Structure 1
Amino acid sequence: MTADTAVPHTAENATPEDVDGDRPDDDCSVVDDQGVDVPEHTTSNPDHAKRLTRRLAERWRRIAVTSLVLACAGTAGAVYFTTYRSDRASAEATTQVAKAASDGAVALLSYAPASLDHDLAAARSHLTGGFLTYYSQFADQFVAPAAKQKDIHAAASVVRAATIDAHADSAHVLIFLNQTTTSRENPEPTQSASSVNVGLTKIDGVWRISSFDPI
């Protein structure tokens, strides 16, 4: 073989640049378990490995912080709405017992001879228990005879009502009221103010007066 003889360009005498795939491509990359593109040549370099570890740690730290914030927000929202519902239910119960006490007090202290039977029956519909029994006897023995004989007209109005306590089936309300009365002997209206501690009991879902104690 002479010097001018061409040497076949084969895999045995090819340069690394000529053999496809024998030289690592700097742009080649692999995908790590977390879905992050990592240059292939960095996986064997300790410094690159450390930087990769830091990047992954930072990414997961951000995810953890975000998850914690969302969890706290959800918990705070649940507590808020639970408290809100509880407060709202309590406010509604307070309003109901105050109204029941006010309506019952007005019915008890308002009557006229012409509508006496109706007025006394209306008053009884607001009462329950031992107080209902007591009022029925008192009305029959004293209120009805006096109203007819003396032509007594009485009208009551509640100035203010404040709930002292309210439970599932019992409550107390302090009411301030005015009562105006006229009679045959005193035709000019006479007004009197009083305050009463009204006890209530829930019967079949309805608040009824079970005690009526002037203060």
Structure 2
Amino acid sequence: MTTLKEDLNVDTIDDEPDSTTEGAQQESGAAESQPTAGQGRRHIVWSRVFAHGILPALALVLALGAGYLKWSAGAADDLARARSESVQAARDDAVTLLTYHAETVDKELAAARERLTGEFKDAYAELTRQVVVPGAKEKHISSVAKANAAASVSATANHAVALVYVDQTVTIGADAPTDTQPVVRVTLDKVNGRWLVSRFDPV
């Protein structure tokens, strides 16, 4: 048998809401009504990365690639030009160095020296002064050279090597001409815009 006070206490307990259940429902509703913070942040981060990171990087890569291709094409053109010019210079120089006539040997070999550079120029001047010029005048020696072919061995902007295939006809006095076909390895250096011979070696 319960008293009136106990009955009132029971009714009061039954009427009070379950605070734990209500709090859980509120939190659940809040969670459903709001997007997850991780999803929002992920969307913002990737859009910024794409706009401020990937696009500028792609533009930079394309610019660098275009610049490299342009530089590479220009370098290839420069190398081809150096090869062509050095081979032509080697042909002309070989003919000039190996051609002289007894009557004009001084003038011809002096002009040939202007195509040379470095120690080879000094050595050539000494050789022609002491041996070639006196011999040509004394024995009436003439030499006529013609370059049949030439090929590049190597070439850079300022240094090149070429092979020159020569037909050389030497006449001594009244004797019959003598023909030879020397192959010469010509080394050239570019000095003040001109390809000059720094070595001249028979192969």
Query: TM-score category by the smaller chain?
Result: 0.5 to 0.7
State how far apart, in whole Å, the 1-side matches of 2:113 and 2:67 are: 45
The answer as to 2:88 corresponding to 1:99 is yes
Q: Which residue of 131, 151, 166 maps to 1:161?
A: 151
Question: TM-score normalised to the size of structure 2?
Answer: 0.63
Q: Could you say if the C-alpha distance between residues 71 and 203 of structure 1 is closer, same or farther in structure 2, counting changes exceeding 3 Å?
A: closer
How many pairs were matched up? 167
State how far apart, in whole Å, the 2-side matches of 1:96 and 1:83 are: 20
Cα RMSD (Å) = 3.4
State how far apart, in whole Å, the 2-side matches of 1:102 and 1:86 are: 24
Identify the residue that residue 126 of structure 1 maps to in structure 2: 115
Matched-pair identity in %: 27
Q: Which residue of 163, 166, 171 maps to 1:178?
A: 166
Identify the residue that residue 8 of structure 1 maps to in structure 2: none
Structure 1 unpaired stretches of 5+: 1-44, 47-58
SS in 2 for 1:176: strand
Q: Could you say if the C-alpha distance between residues 90 and 62 of structure 1 is closer, same or farther in structure 2, counting changes exceeding 3 Å?
A: same
Identify the residue that residue 202 of structure 2 maps to in structure 1: 214
State how far apart, in whole Å, the 1-side matches of 2:192 and 2:66 are: 35
Structure 2 unpaired stretches of 5+: 1-32, 35-46
State how far apart, in whole Å, the 1-side matches of 2:118 and 2:57 are: 56
Identify the residue that residue 18 of structure 2 maps to in structure 1: none
Q: Could you say if the C-alpha distance between residues 67 and 166 of structure 1 is closer, same or farther in structure 2, counting changes exceeding 3 Å?
A: closer
Q: 1:175·1:198 contact (CA, 8 Å) conserved in 2?
A: yes
Alignment of 1:61-100 (within 5 A): 72-100=61-89
Identify the residue that residue 180 of structure 2 maps to in structure 1: 192
Between Structure 1 and Structure 2, the one with more helix by share is: 2
The one-letter code of the counterpart of 2:153 is: T
C-alpha displacement at 1:78, in angstroms?
1.9
Identify the residue that residue 193 of structure 2 maps to in structure 1: 205
C-alpha displacement at 1:72, in angstroms?
4.7
Q: 1:174·1:195 contact (CA, 8 Å) conserved in 2?
A: no
SS in 2 for 1:113: coil
SS in 2 for 1:185: coil
C-alpha displacement at 1:60, in angstroms?
9.4
Identify the residue that residue 100 of structure 2 maps to in structure 1: 111
Q: 1:178·1:193 contact (CA, 8 Å) conserved in 2?
A: yes
C-alpha displacement at 1:66, in angstroms?
7.8
The one-letter code of the counterpart of 1:138 is: L
Q: 1:176·1:196 contact (CA, 8 Å) conserved in 2?
A: yes
State how far apart, in whole Å, the 1-side matches of 2:83 and 2:181 are: 24
Q: 2:121·2:198 contact (CA, 8 Å) conserved in 1?
A: yes
State how far apart, in whole Å, the 1-side matches of 2:141 and 2:195 are: 32
State how far apart, in whole Å, the 2-side matches of 1:132 and 1:61 are: 65
State how far apart, in whole Å, the 2-side matches of 1:196 and 1:153 are: 16
